[in-house]
Amino acid sequence: MPQYCVNRNSQPNGDHEVHNLDANCSYLPDPANRHGLGNHTTCHSAVIAAKQHYPQSNGCYYCSPACHTQ
Q: Does the pLDDT value for residue 1 go beyond 80? A: yes
pLDDT for position 69: 86
Let me know: does 66 contact 17? Beta carbons within 8 Å.
Answer: no
Residues facing residue 59 across a β-bridge: 18
pLDDT for position 59: 97
**Domain span including residue 29:** 3-67
Tell me the backbone φ, ψ of residue 52, rounded to 5 degrees.
-70, -25
pLDDT for position 70: 59
Q: What is the pLDDT of residues 59-69, one digit of tens each?
A: 999 999 999 98
Strands (E), the chain: 3-7, 16-20, 34-39, 57-59
Q: What is the pLDDT of residues 9-60, one digit of tens each?
A: 999 999 999 999 999 999 999 999 999 999 999 999 999 999 999 999 999 9
Domain tally, the chain: 1
